[in-house]
Amino acid sequence: MIKRTLPILCILLGIAIFLYPAVMDRYEIYRQQQMMDQWTEALKRIDQATETAVPKQNTLNPVPVSAVVAPDPAPADSPPQPSNADPDPLEGKPIEGILIIDKIKLKLPIITDATVNNLKLSVASIAGTAKAGAVGNYAIAGHRNFTYGKNFNRLDEVDKGDIIEVDTGKQQYRYQVQEKQYVLPEDVWVLKGNGKDKEITLITCHPMENPTHRLIVKGKLIEKQ
């Protein structure tokens, strides 16, 4: 019985190992899309909450303080009320916005802080760099996965003059690519701004297999909406 079962188990194990990368790729793409959908839904909820909290006024009279102060706490002897609040729609991941590069059909959520775990999910901003639309260098890192079109897989196709967009929900920023270069991993100067321009820098590994360098795409803000 064992002699018959062992070859079957080995075959199944081999199939599982073979399919694992493809399954994980699909799962990560699903998570990225889910995060973008949840980000969009969260923004809608914020807008709806704002409209509800501050109704349109037909007169120029200011809103009375009583309309905006917090409600009185419930009496101490009142039973606890069930909460109808939805769970965190972003699953605890702080999302700064959406990165869009039409040329390479890229649209990804930007997670705050480029940790190992965050970079497994999507692209992420590098701590200590500027924010979107601010003076300084807004640096975003991402893996260059083997799956075509996933994360920064096609970043090397971006050229000078191409457009990089960042949608924070409140503002849309358009950056024009100024240069593309390949640097060593220790060349951290690429993260620094020049103190006057509003820049963006996209960073990934190069080449994809056994990377020795970093691919850098730098742009400058040309438009804010």
Model pLDDT for residues 92-130, shown as the tens digit of each residue: 668 999 999 999 999 999 999 998 888 888 999 999 999
Domain ranges, ordered by start, for the chain = 1-48, 95-224
CB 199 within 8 A of CB 193: yes
Helix (H) or strand (E) holding 131: none
Give me the CATH topology for the region 95-224: Sortase; Chain: A; (2.40.260)
- Please list the active-site residues: 143, 205
Between the alpha carbon of residue 15 and those of residues 11, 21, 126, 165, the distances in Å are 6, 11, 38, 41
pLDDT of residue 146: 78
Specify the pTM.
0.64
* Secondary structure of 61-105 in HEC code, one letter for each residue: CCCCHHHCCCCCCCCCCCCCCCCCCCCCCCCCCCEEEEEEEHHHC
